[in-house]
Amino acid sequence: MDFEAVIGLEVHAELDTRSKMFCACPVIDVTTAAPNIAVCPVCAGMPGVLPVVNERAVEYAIRVALALECQVYSTSIFARKNYFYPDLPKGYQISQYEQPLARHGRLVIQTSQGEKTVRIRRVHLEEDTGKLTHVEKDAQSYSLVDLNRAGVPLLEIVTEPDMHSAEEVRAYAQALRSVLRYLKVNSGDMQKGVMRIEPNISVRLLGSQSLGTRVEIKNLNSFRALERATAYEIQRQSELVSRGGQVRQETVGWDEARQQTFTQRVKEGEEDYRYFPEPDLPPLVVEEAWVEHIRAELPELPAARQRRFESQYALSAYDASVLVAEWEAAEYFEQAAAAAGGAPAKTVANWVSGELFGLLNQAGKDISASPVSPQGMGRLVRSVASGEINNNTAKTVLAEMFAGGQEADAIIAERGLRQVSDTAQIAGWVAQALAENPDQVRAYLNGKDSLARWLFGQVMRLARGQGNPQIIQAELERQLSALKN
């Protein structure tokens, strides 16, 4: 039996506003702050307080909705989602339910099978919960409650069940993160939990159109965990169904140590939350003029930038996609290409996403903290392209630039790395190589064209990598054609 996986994603992304969703408390880094320093009666859920909507959070949410090509509704409704949990002091979460801010969007993703469109079902605003820390002390267990995160603006972005593999799920999550970062509404710092992903997974017989029973994996906060947990769950369900078993609708967690999912709870139905319109907030009305203003201010997004890189710089879809994934890397590349003085942009792209990314990775640095400036990188590539230095020398120079921060020209001059471009010396190497290989020269002159490459290699060997290959090539062609006549 062949199975097809069907997957829809719910992503929770915190919005990087200055204050919380319904109060004036600051949004802070909850992974480093002391507990409960950004809390007030509103976000602590005291009785008798009133929430006030953060306009900036609504603006950010509209930005995301528009970037995902959604329809933004002029009126949406906040709703209470009732449930009890110690990190939710009010006993309910303010969310949007029947009338969300936006629906019907799409995001194009890149996979090894090519481009694919994932439909966005809805985008709605809500508030984050607090955080619990479970500790053991004196053989007792305690749960500590930190409300710094309670009430932080949260955007929920839900797809249609359009994905069919762990690879597609990862590609979607990465593309979404990239969009959020381009829009500057979310840092994308997954280790800090600012973007959490919940895949809903079911399997069905290949060719079937109906949906199987789904399992929802809660709160994954790395792409690796997302990919592994998804692959695991697809495998588990396929095996279960092929043995004649039935998937139970449930919510599971991902056990990183065991690399398997585990049951958290058998899924509650929507009726358990007893959603109802939030009585303390009026309907959220957004004026069309405001939405259009936000649309006009949207930056060039990763997909558009990728298409532009492909046409403007003649890059492959893959090379372009690597460069546009991070806004900073795309900026870096464009500045380096501009400074490379006519060197092919493809060569610049290779140096940036190959050599430079490698060095940054090793050093654990972001591209924004690169010791090599984009201009410095561009000038280095120009030196390679013009034949002033060869590829291997350039790698050494780049490593030195990276370690010491000196400019390429200075390193090349100081260490005498410039390749020999002196035509007289090169002419001598060529003449010597031709004199040492009379049989091959004769064969070449009798029509064995492929020997030109071999003879080129002989000259390069005599030059011990010191000669400018472009000049050598030209000189070799000149001397060989002189022999022909």
Rule CB under 6 A: say whether 433 interacts with ligand ADP.
Answer: no
Cα end-to-end span (Å), the chain:
72
Q: Which of 46, 144, 211, 369 binds ligand ADP (CB under 6 A)?
A: 211
Among residue numbers 257 through 286, which ones bind ligand ADP (CB under 6 A)?
270
**195-205 and 71-72 strand pairing:** unpaired
Q: CA gyration radius for the chain?
A: 30
- Residue 119 C-beta: closest distance to ligand ADP, Å: 9
Tokens for 392, please give them: 């291997």
Selection from Zn ion, ligand ADP, none that 6 binds (CB < 5 to 8 A by kind) is ligand ADP
Coil, strand or helix: which one is 447?
A: coil
- Residue 142 C-beta: closest distance to Zn ion, Å: 24
Q: Which amino acid is at 98?
A: E
Dist CA 447 CA 442 (whole Å):
9
| ∠ CA 115-116-121, rounded to 5° | 150
Rule CB under 6 A: say whether 159 interacts with ligand ADP.
Answer: yes
Beta carbons within 8 Å of 203's beta carbon, 6+ residues apart: 3, 4, 5, 6, 212, 234, 237, 238, 241, 247
For residue 65, count other CB atoms closer than 10 A to its CB: 28
Dist CA 389 CA 421 (whole Å):
10
Q: By CB under 6 A, which span of 19-27, 54-62, 94-102, 198-206 interacts with ligand ADP? A: 198-206
Q: By CB under 6 A, which span of 8-16, 130-138, 255-263, 407-415 interacts with ligand ADP? A: 8-16
Selection from ligand ADP, Zn ion, none that 25 binds (CB < 5 to 8 A by kind) is Zn ion
Rule CB under 6 A: say whether 200 interacts with ligand ADP.
Answer: yes
Rule CB under 6 A: say whether 189 interacts with ligand ADP.
Answer: no
Selection from Zn ion, ligand ADP, none that 159 binds (CB < 5 to 8 A by kind) is ligand ADP
**3-14 and 75-76 strand pairing:** unpaired
Rule CB under 6 A: say whether 88 interacts with ligand ADP.
Answer: no
Rule CB under 6 A: say whether 9 interacts with ligand ADP.
Answer: yes
Rule CB under 6 A: say whether 108 interacts with ligand ADP.
Answer: no
- Residue 96 C-beta: closest distance to Zn ion, Å: 20
Binding to Zn ion by CB under 5 A, coded x per residue (else -) over 18-47, reads: -----x-x--------------x-xx----
- Residue 79 C-beta: closest distance to ligand ADP, Å: 13
Dist CA 476 CA 421 (whole Å):
14
Which DSSP letter does residue 131 get?
E
Coil, strand or helix: which one is 269?
A: coil
Residues lying near ligand ADP in the complex (CB under 6 A): 6-10, 158-161, 200-202, 211-212, 214, 216, 270
Which residues contact Zn ion by CB under 5 A? Answer: 23, 25, 40, 42-43
